[in-house]
Structure 1
Amino acid sequence: MSLHELNTFPGVTAEPDAATQGFVFNHTMLRVKDITASLDFYTRVLGFHLVDKRDFPEAEFSLYFLALVDKAHIPQDDAARHQWMKSIPGVLELTHNHGTENDAGFSYYNGNTDSRGFGHICVSVPDVVAACARFEQLNVPFQKRLQDGRMNHLAFVKDPDGYWVEIIQPTPL
């Protein structure tokens, strides 16, 4: 389908309302059981940087904001960093409810068991084959390896809570 065909697809407004100029898809939030395991996965395994943290002790939860950005671009000043973080696309917010990491039977619904809803997030990498080989070496659990099924150009790994992360590359394999 061409871009013109997509923009004339029934139900699609060809031009967004002018009032939406400047809107940015800023972040997606995932609830996580063990923040230490989740931060390790998203920073060390997937390369995100922790750009902000907000604690709410009275409500017993903390928010961690991560982004795939050049660390040199992250403002050092707290107020400037907080404002900058709200203006960039593709931020991942991890919400940790204090104490969940100590409950062996506790888990969050990952969206991919019955009844399905939320599906996955996606990370684009320069070389999907090399990234998947690295994930194998790091013992990252896979939902789908490159060689599985018909879609051999993408993979799915699982984070510590079982959320699926699609791994793609922008260029053809």
Structure 2
Amino acid sequence: MFRFNHYNINVLDLEKSINFYKNALGLNIIREKNAQDGSYKIVYLGDGKSDFSLELTWLKDRKEKYDLGDEEFHLALTAEDFNAAYEKHKAMNVIIFENPKMGIYFIGDPDGYWIEIIPPKK
């Protein structure tokens, strides 16, 4: 049997990404890995409630934006207070797509990754 462990995304500005995920989603650093030669840094973020983590990988020599294709893949998080989350993300100006019929919306991180925000199941 398998269980989810982590999801990886590559980022250009690690500090900017860490701040985004902390401010927008309340994720905090749970561990880090640093290359001895400084060529990469990996930071794992967690929600403090589950074992699942988001892995941010920064590569020293990477200068150009990552090609995200058609953004058909995404990370999804459930917001305990969906309306408060929506208002917060609206004020941060990070909402990039809304689907009122489905009751969801997406925010975009500094590198253009899409994050789906969904309400709790009723």
The TM-score, its normalising length taken from structure 1, stands at: 0.64
**What's 1:157 paired with?**
107
* Residue among 71, 74, 78 paired with 1:124: 78
Match of 2:121 in 1: 171
The match for 2:5 is 26
Cα distance, 1:146 vs structure 2: 4.9
Counterpart CA distance in 2 for 1:45 and 1:170 is 17
The equivalent position to 2:28 in structure 1, one of 49, 57, 81, is 49
The two structures have a TM-score, normalised by structure 2, of 0.88
User: Is 2:98 the counterpart of 1:145?
Assistant: yes
The answer to whether residue 51 in structure 2 is matched with residue 89 in structure 1 is yes
How far apart are the structure 2 equivalents of 1:162 and 1:57? 29
Deviation, 1:171, is 3.0
3-state SS in 1 of match to 2:37: helix
Instruction: Report the Cα distance in structure 1 between the residues aligned to 2:119 and 2:73, rounded to whole angstroms.
Output: 19
CA drift of 1:110 comes to 2.2
Number of residues of Structure 1 aligned to a counterpart in Structure 2: 122
Identity level (%): 30
Task: Give the conservation status (yes or no) of the 8 Å contact 2:27–2:46.
Answer: yes
More helix by share: 1
Q: CA RMSD in A?
A: 1.9
Structure 1 stretches (4+) deviating beyond 3 angstroms? none
Structure holding more strand per residue: 2
Matches of 2:69 and 2:55 in 1, distance apart?
A: 17
| 1:84-138, Cα deviation, whole Å (9 max, x unpaired) | xxxx6321000000144xx4xx10122425xxxx510011111222211111112
Instruction: In structure 1, list runs of 5 or more residues that go unmatched.
Output: 1-19, 71-87
CA contact (8 A) 1:128 1:154 kept: no
Higher relative contact order (CA 8 A, sep 6+): 2
